[in-house]
Amino acid sequence: MRLSHGVGEIICSTISVRHRLTAALLLLGVFPGIAFLLGCKKPSSPKAAVATLQPVPQVAQTNVSNSDEQSCRTFVQAFYDWYVANDDKDRFTASLRPRRSAFEPKLWNMLVADDEAQSHADEIVGLDFDPILASQDPSSKFRVESVSSNEGHCETVVRGVEQGTKRERVTPELRIVHGNWIFVDFHYQFETQGKLSESNLVQILKDLKEQRVRDPQEKPK
């Protein structure tokens, strides 16, 4: 005995939800060839069911953080490679001018003012070391050793290396402006009489400016 497809649809529409499973089982027992009646309600695919049960992956912020750290590392290393190869020992800011956009305007203006003051004085009234390399006699290579970033800010530890020996240590501080990393400060560790002290370029430039105001030193005209 065969049951037409139309009859199956009528049964599906008239049997109550509470008895639908019972009816289906009875029909299967009597008419093994009409299993299509159980298809009145199309089951969800197993793949779709699994997808709805999977938790939302918590990796977006981690990926962003990793991306920031990597881009910061790449930027700083590329800058140091360029600077070491193009350092002008006579005028500090002259060597930096092609990359002035890599510096926060406030920091750049402080560097230029310090450089200008030194060019008009017989004695040392400005920086007496290279603030990018944290040295008076820098190593031939500088490598980014570690990076930490947080919400658009980045600090990198850069080490000078000479014949496999680590020497200088400087920590540039950067932030993202209009999608680009820029230097906002450089942090240092100095050893004085066997003790380590910390300082930063912005504070050093401020102190030197105040000192020049108190004790102006200009070349005689």
**57 pLDDT tier (thresholds 50, 70, 90):** very low
Task: Among 12-16, 64-68, 121-125, 181-185, name the one with the lowest average pLDDT.
Answer: 12-16
Q: Residue holding tokens 């920086």?
A: 127
Residues 9, 40: Cα–Cα separation, whole Å:
7
* Range of 15-29, 61-75, 125-139 with top mean pLDDT: 125-139
Q: Which domains does the chain have, with CATH numbers?
A: 5-53 (no CATH), 61-214 (3.10.450.50)
- Supply the DSSP string of the chain, one letter for each residue: ----HHHHHHHHHHS-GGGHHHHHHHHHHH-TT-GGGGGGSPPPPHHHHHHHHSPPP--HHHHHHHHHHHHHHHHHHHHHHHHHHH--SS-HHHHHGGGGGGB-HHHHHHHHHHHHHHHT-SS--S-SSBTTTTBSS--SEEEEEEEEEETTEEEEEEEEEETTEEEEEEEEEEEEETTEEEEEEEEEEEEETTEEEEEEHHHHHHHHHHHHHHS------
Quote the pTM value.
0.67
pLDDT at 41 (0 to 100): 45
Task: Render pLDDT for 112-154 as a digit per residue (tens, 0 to 9).
Answer: 999 999 988 889 999 999 999 999 999 999 999 999 999 999 9
Task: Render pLDDT for 78-117 as a digit per residue (tens, 0 to 9).
Answer: 999 999 998 666 667 888 999 999 999 999 999 999 999 9
Residues 10, 33: Cα–Cα separation, whole Å:
17
